[in-house]
Amino acid sequence: MSSEQHYTFREAESRPLPREGGRGEGQPLLAVTDLQVNYGGIAAVKGISFAVEAGETVALIGANGAGKTTTLKALSRLLPSKGTLRYDGKDLHALPPHALVQRGFSLVPEGRGVFARMSVTENLQMGAYQRSDKEIAQDIERMFELLPRLKERADQLAGTLSGGEQQMLAIARALMGRPRLLLLDEPSMGLAPLMVQKIFELIRGVAAQGVAVLLVEQNASLALETASRAYVMESGTITLADTAANLLADPRVQAAYLGH
């Protein structure tokens, strides 16, 4: 059941998929400079800057309404935004949302967003919608090895799964796109503590395979335990940026987000 056990997902890297980016050495995989997003006249994100290196896990923590989800949506090109967004050396603003997956940029949307009236297997197939290689079936098998719960429910409609299983499916579906950067929006939302542990075990497993993860979480302690670096967001701005260990020890973070 452990995430590391059969997780051979990153072996995919050696295969001829559209992964060769024009990224110069030393540049972060994702670089955000002065991102601004307006939501119906209200400035939800007021010029934030941050970066995610290749293979690194970065958390974006903060209270409800701080602008975390808006940030992810803007990065995924689901919301119009201003500022410079560079992913893999390319300008994200020049790409439509559907062109991101094939460049290894995958979003697991807030509230999971599984296709309720499609089976588990069909959901996984949709994750590989942009792929035309012959290894899709193998990758589905890999997901089933990684998440035996999903295998048991392979033919069940996704809408009939429990919340935690749907979250697993949503992550697995994103992995089917063979991402280099995985954006997770509140993966712990609405789940029982035991299930939250399982989901984070899965996320750590994915990160251990070299996938860069940008994790948006309200559960700050879990996020900081999982990430190597983190940014704290408050009403549309980044107020703190440090390594996860330093932030865990920071009295301000402890008081505001860790309940100490």
Partner 1 sequence: MYAQKKKIAGVALIGVALAILPFVIGMGFGNAWMRMLDFALLYIMLALGLNIVVGFAGLLDLGYIAFYAVGAYIYALLASPHFGLHWPLWAILPLGALVAGMFGMLLGAPTLRLRGDYLAIVTLGFGEIIRIFLNNLNAPINITNGPKGIAGIDPLAKNIEIFGYALHSLYLIYYLFVALALLIVVVTMRLEKSRLGRAWVAIREDEIAAKACGINTRNVKLLAFAMGASFGGVAGGLFAGFQQFVSPESFGLFESIMVLCMVVLGGMGNIPGVILGAVVLTVLPELFRQWAGPMQMALFGQTYIDPESMRLLLFGIALILVMRFRPMGLLPSSRRKAEFEHAAEEGVTS
Stretch that binds partner 1, among 87-95, 135-143, 154-162, 203-211 (CB under 8 A): 154-162
63 binds partner 1 (CB under 8 A): no
Q: How far apart are CA 9 and CA 203, in angstroms?
A: 13
Decide: is 159 part of the binding site for partner 1 (CB under 8 A): yes
∠ CA 38-42-45, rounded to 5°: 50
24 binds partner 1 (CB under 8 A): no
Name the residue nearer to partner 1 (CB basis): 214 or 238.
Answer: 214
Cβ 260 to partner 1 shortest distance, Å: 36
Scanning 59-67, 112-120, 135-143, 244-252 for contacts with partner 1 by CB under 8 A, the matching segment is: 112-120
The verdict on 41 binding partner 1 (CB under 8 A) reads no
Single residue of 62, 67, 104, 127 touching partner 1 by CB under 8 A: 127
- E strand segments, the chain: 30-39, 42-52, 57-62, 82-87, 90-91, 105-108, 181-185, 212-217, 229-234, 237-243
- Name the minimum Å distance from CB 109 to partner 1: 5
What distance in Å separates the CA atoms of residue 183 and residue 174, rounded to the nearest whole number? 9
CB of 234 to partner 1, least distance (A): 26
Gap between the Cα atoms of 125 and 143, Å rounded: 11
Question: Which residues have C-beta within 8 Å of that of residue 212, sequence separation ≥ 6?
Answer: 29, 30, 52, 53, 54, 55, 56, 57, 58, 180, 181, 182
Contacts with partner 1 by CB under 8 A lie at 76, 78, 96-102, 106-109, 113-118, 122, 125-127, 129-130, 157, 159-160, 170, 173-174, 177
